[in-house]
């Protein structure tokens, strides 16, 4: 799991070769981070479960996340809670 800027750390860990069972981006899907990790894990052909928690109509509700949200290995969860509350709410 990675929250906020922890998304880049999560992406770097995955791109280094670590293959988790599940990946959680907690309001942390900025820029290329989720796309790079998702691709490194094999994308929709992977058995790795991706969970993208985003605040609607914000930077974390990016085009990439919306593009893959219907894939079999992706859960796309929207929430209007405050950014700083994502950890206590979803872990």
d(CA 78, CA 19): 25
Q: Is the separation of the CB atoms in 60 and 54 below 8 Å?
A: yes
Over range 67-83, report the average pLDDT.
Answer: 94
pLDDT for the residue numbered 63:
83
27 DSSP 8-state letter: S
Q: What is the pTM of this model?
A: 0.93
pLDDT for the residue numbered 82:
96
Percent of the chain with pLDDT over 70: 100
Percent of the chain with pLDDT over 90: 85
Question: How many CA atoms within 13 Å lie on the side-chain side of 11?
Answer: 21
pLDDT for the residue numbered 49:
97
């Amino acid at each position: 799991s990675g929250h906020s800027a922890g998304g880049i750390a999560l992406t770097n860990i995955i791109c280094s070769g670590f293959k988790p069972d599940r990946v959680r981006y907690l309001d942390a899907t900025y820029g290329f981070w989720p796309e790079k990790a998702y691709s490194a894990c094999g994308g929709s052909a992977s058995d790795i479960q991706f969970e993208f928690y985003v605040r609607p109509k914000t930077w974390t509700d990016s085009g990439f996340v919306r593009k893959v949200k219907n894939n079999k290995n992706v859960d796309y969860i929207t929430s209007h809670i405050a950014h700083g509350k994502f950890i206590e709410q979803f872990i």
